Amino acid sequence: MSRIGKLPIPVPKDVNVEQTGSELNVKGKFGALNLTIPDTIVVINNDNVLEVSLKKNTRNVRALHGLYRTLINNMVVGVSEQFTVVLELKGVGYRAVVQGKEIVLNLGYSHQVKIEIPETISVEVVQNTTVNLKSCDKELLGLFAANIRSWRRPEPYKGKGILYKGEQIVRKAGKSAK
């Protein structure tokens, strides 16, 4: 059995967990999420503690055990606390602005990059170069952050690009003169 899959999931008081058939619905103050669980995995709710167990003990089911426990835990944490990703824009003239339901980025291209913001994600721009992303859905938040970052990946020579907060870029030496 998975070590991670065995861990219990504590459910805060303000979070409501309902299971109907193979659907698991989690509601909290920051939103509602749902997940379809395979028939081979069982979720047991005991006094605001969720436990994930298996019906069969086959190799494929054991592989899903820890995965679904982590997905359920991320749902519970997301609707009660929210997840946050901070992006930093490093480069001359790089800046971000939120206009309506899209984020507009100036990244050194001849045009502005406009990216539509999903409904469940809130975006806040601080000092034109720091973008705070918040959402209860960890997967969607990571995909959106990776989409923004894909427009200007950090490069190793000057360190310019879109970086996650606290990310260290390993710098390379440029061409050496003879």
Identify the band that residue 1 occupies on the pLDDT scale cut at 50, 70 and 90: low
Asked if residue 55 has pLDDT above 90, the reply is no
Rounded-to-integer distance, Cα 13 and Cα 33, Å: 17
Q: Return the pLDDT at 132.
A: 96
Q: Return the pLDDT at 130.
A: 95
- Residues 56-94 have pLDDT tens digits of 888 888 888 889 999 999 999 999 999 999 999 999 999
Going 158 to 163 to 165 to 168, the CA torsion angle's sign is: negative
147: left (phi over 0), alpha (psi -120 to 50) or beta: alpha
Identify the band that residue 100 occupies on the pLDDT scale cut at 50, 70 and 90: very high
Q: Return the pLDDT at 6.
A: 84
Q: Return the pLDDT at 135.
A: 95
- pTM for the full model? 0.89
Domains located in the chain, CATH noted: 3-81 (3.90.930.12), 83-164 (3.90.930.12)
* C-alpha neighbours within 13 Å on the C-beta side of residue 1: 12
- Which CA distances in Å does 98 have to 117, 144, 164? 9, 15, 19
Q: Return the pLDDT at 150.
A: 95
Q: Mean pLDDT throughout 30-50?
A: 90
- Residues 122-151 have pLDDT tens digits of 999 999 999 999 999 999 999 999 999 999
Q: Mean pLDDT throughout 93-100?
A: 94
